[in-house]
Structure 1
Amino acid sequence: MEHPIRTIITGTGSYIPDNVVTNEDFLDNKFLQKNGEPFDKSNREIIEKFQQITGIRERRYADDDMMASDMGTIAAERALESSGLDPEELDYIILAHNFGDILHNNRRSDMVPTLASRVKNSLGIRNSKCVAYDLPFGCPGWLQGIIQANYYIRSGDATSALVIGSETLSRVCDPHDRDSMIYADGAGATVLESGEPGSRNGILAHASRSDTMTQAYFLEMEQSYKEDYGDTLFMKMNGRKLYQYAITHVPGLVKESIEDSGLVLGDISKVLIHQANEKLDESILERLFELYEISEIPDDIMPMTINWLGNSSVATVPTLLDLVLREKMNGQSLNPGDNIVFASVGAGMNINSVVYRV
């Protein structure tokens, strides 16, 4: 009997900017409602309520001269170093992002050449058989890249791939929108390789979905809430509808991926979920356990970085994985044989989930 090829993670890396932006740094912002009118609450009240809901106390912003492709390159170098793989042996470089390279205070997106091509160039990879391309898929982009790389490797078309998620959301958010406090910058990268035939480790299953009939514009680009702020477009979010969509659909998709892997929820050691909003992620986890009719949730099953790193979109999950594997999060670690779930939700609306055995 022929054993299927399994895709395994052999290296991880991340880039976390040094610039710490605390909630206190927003006290002097002029936050406006969608109609352009000021709120009837003080900024301190707005910020305190924001922290209660999102769990975010601080976030990281990239240096002014640092772009998404630069951060992606650093994360990629660290992932390749930890894997021990010769970069020239890579078959694919997949870079997930949403807005390309955006210079500080420029706010114009630059995507030519592709960011993946820029990273390949920066890494000095000469191998023309290493295909580099970008993947814009909202916040689940890095995980969708993992799914695509898994297909390449399992088909025998490839033996390795580098999947990167990098974003500078701080440069596409409206400073007059209180949601701007959610967004952050960063990059995470993962090296995938084909495992030994018959290996029980690696990617076990995945599930994805896209809903666009009424959900496509829960996230979109619009002008600033400040009337005379020019014609620049900023990312805007219908937070209430997005929240409801996520808690309604993410738990079921995660359950689908677990069932496809042949496991049950009790077999899962960790759930690494997109760091969008602390309350949202907690609600998703609670509903997942309800689907299995389990009332007690293990305290350490869902590591979180949202409170100190904010939401860096495609970078949140690979950064989280890298921090856990490097044991840089108190009380969090992964051991051989552990089953973990990756899950994400975002613009589109798109959801995906991957089950992986360490």
Structure 2
Amino acid sequence: MKIKITGIGSYIPEKRISNTDFSNHTFLNEDGTPFGYANEVVIKKFKGITGIEHRRYAEDQYNSSDLAFFASQKAIENAAIDPETIDYIIFAHNFGDVKCGTIQSDMLPSLATRVKNKLQIKNPKCVAYDILFGCPGWIEGVLQANAFIKSGMAKRCLVIGSETLSRVVDDHDRDSMIYSDGAGASIIEASDDESGLLSYESATYAMDEANYLFFGKSYNPDLDPDTRYIKMHGRKIYEFALSNVPTAMKSCLEKSGLAIDDVKKILIHQANEKMDEAIIQRFYKLYDKAVPKDIMPMSIHDLGNSSVATVPTLFDLLVNNQIKDQKINKGDILLFASVGAGMNINAFVYRY
């Protein structure tokens, strides 16, 4: 038995923030000292490294669970199912609902429970829970759905990835320009044909790598040091990803029994354009192969890094032919992969 994605949906906020919107920000070094150059230089360097030109922020009245609800509605409609037949709602996020203008995370009740309530699912045997797995959370949710369905515990799961990172960033940290908001949702069911999940890989590195992403104080020493924001050791994450993600992808592909030339598209977490390109180059180098043209669809240029939402949103855009010069066909082999806080890495091979 295999599982497959029978419905996909996403919610991309309409609020579009351009790089130039950061021109008047006061960016500081970690020690609170100002940069020795203008914001225009900061923004130019940022664009060259990340590839990001724009990102999306959630509308003020919406929280992460709202974005997830909108994406879930689309996935349910796309799958043409009765939501009362969903056995599990698995919601991947990192920071809960953070209301606009506040600093406190709200996860009571769970965001999965909130989505179930918004969907008005009456069935008490539809179990709703959240997972915290960093940016690879949606992929991990798919792997959990796979386990539930294969074990007979479920027939149908709703797996969601949603985040409002714009509400947990330090405005004085230039890394804040990376993050964005959005949601992606998917219906997962057993596959009765050749399509579906063929193999997977998942791992947590927590000895030296556990705190590469963390909550820390603002770089502005005048702000409350007890108010925390998302922070990262960017260089360490970059080096970790380049060393470990390609080998995890290779291990995953080998488990599927397929060859590297069978892979038609790689859907990788939209973290940083240069990092993603380097990961793909290292991956193909393991096979002494050149990277094929158009193998890696990208959405980061316009949507930024929305953490758990990037991969399902990317898949939704790809399925609906909304990424320029990118297309998938029935039977194509796709490789999904992600890396993030934990440090966690996961991947799965999928026949579309």
Fold shared by both chains (TM-score > 0.5): yes
How does 1:161-180 map onto structure 2 within 5 Å? Answer: 161-180=157-176
The percent of aligned pairs where both chains have the same amino acid is 53
Shift of 1:66: 0.7
1:195 CA displacement: 1.6
The equivalent of 1:330 in structure 2 is 324
> For residues 317 and 103 of structure 2, what CA distance do their matches in structure 1 show?
30
- Give, in whole Å, the separation in 2 of the partners of 1:304 and 1:317: 10
Query: 2-side partners of 1:256 and 1:6: how far apart?
Result: 19
For 1:341-356, list aligned pairs within 5 A. 341-356=335-350
Does structure 1 residue 282 correspond to structure 2 residue 277?
yes
How many residues are aligned here?
351
1:44 equivalenced with 2:49 (yes/no): no
2:342 corresponds to which letter in structure 1?
G
Q: Quick one: distance in 1 between partners of 2:190 and 2:238? A: 37
Partner of 1:142, secondary structure, is helix
How far is the alpha carbon of 1:200 from its aligned partner? 2.0
Query: Whole-Å Cα distance in 1 between the matches of residues 304 and 191 of structure 2?
Result: 34
The match for 1:305 is: 299
Q: Which residue of 2 aligns with 1:123?
A: 119
Q: Using the TM superposition, give the Cα deviation of residue 188 of structure 1 relative to its aligned residue in structure 2, in angstroms.
A: 0.3
Partner of 1:79: 75
The equivalent residue for 2:61 is: 65
| 3-state SS of paired residue (1:194) | strand
1:211 Cα shift?
0.6
Residue in 2 that maps onto 1:28: 24
Q: 1:155 deviation in Å?
A: 1.4
Q: What do residues 74-133 of structure 1 show as CA deviations (whole Å, max 9, x unaligned)?
A: 000000000001100001100000000001110210000000000000000011111100
1:176-199 CA distance string (max 9 Å, x none):
000000000000001111122xx3
Name the CA distance, whole Å, in 2 between partners of 1:257 and 1:300: 21
Structure 1 CA distance, aligned partners of 2:221 and 2:183?
A: 33
Q: 1:70 is aligned with what amino acid?
A: D
**Could you say what secondary structure the match of 1:151 adopts?**
helix
Residue 42 of structure 2 is aligned to residue 14 of structure 1: no
Superposed CA RMSD in Å reads 0.6
Taking the TM superposition and a 5 Å limit, the aligned residue runs for 1:109-148 are 109-148=105-144
Q: CA deviation at 1:156?
A: 1.7
2:298 counterpart SS class: coil
Q: Residue 231 of structure 2 aligns to which amino acid in structure 1?
A: K
Please point out which of 161, 167, 187 is paired with 1:191: 187
For 1:265, the equivalent position in structure 2 comes to: 260
2:239 maps to a residue whose letter is Q
Does 2:36 align with 1:55? no
3-state SS, counterpart of residue 124 of structure 2: coil
Counterpart CA distance in 1 for 2:123 and 2:288 is 51
C-alpha distance in structure 1 between counterparts of 2:227 and 2:334, whole Å: 41
Alignment counterpart, residue 210 of structure 2, candidates 211, 216, 230: 216
TM-superposition CA deviations, 1:141-167 (whole Å, max 9, x none): 000000000111111221110000000
Instruction: Provide the rounded CA distance (Å) in 2 between the counterparts of 1:334 and 1:193.
Output: 20
Counterpart pick for 2:230 among 225, 229, 235: 235
Deviation at 1:298, TM superposition (A): 1.6
C-alpha distance in 1 between matches for 2:117 and 2:300:
32
**SS of match in other structure, 1:225:** coil
Separation in 2 of the partners of 1:222 and 1:329?
A: 36
Q: Please give the alpha-carbon distance, in whole angstroms, between the structure 2 residues aligned to 1:110 and 1:58.
A: 27
Letter in 2 for 1:112: L
Please give the alpha-carbon distance, in whole angstroms, between the structure 2 residues aligned to 1:302 and 1:184. 20
Q: Distance in 2 between matches of 1:341 and 1:291?
A: 16
Deviations 1:195-222 (A, max 9, x none): 22xx321000000111111100000001
Task: Deviation per CA, 1:43-80: give whole Å up to 9, x if none.
Answer: 00010000000000010000111100000000000000
Q: Could you tell me the TM-score, scaled by structure 2's length? A: 0.99
Q: Distance in 2 between matches of 1:131 and 1:332?
A: 36
Deviation of residue 299 (structure 1)?
1.5
Matched letter for residue 180 of structure 2: A
What is the Cα deviation at residue 279 of structure 1? 0.1
AA matched with 1:138:
G
The Cα offsets for residues 252-303 of structure 1, whole Å up to 9 and x where unpaired, read as: 0000000001111111010000000000000000000000110x22221100
In the aligned structure 2, how far is the partner of 1:237 from the partner of 1:268?
A: 32
Note the C-alpha offset of 1:331: 1.8
Give the secondary structure class of the aligned counterpart of 2:7.
strand
| Alpha-carbon distance between aligned partners in 2 of 1:265 and 1:94, rounded to the nearest angstrom | 31
SS in structure 2 opposite 1:252? Answer: helix
Q: Deviations over 1:14-34 (max 9, x none)?
A: 000000000000000000000
Partner of 1:250: 245
- Report the equivalent of 1:315: 309
Question: Aligned to 1:113, what secondary structure does the other structure show?
Answer: coil
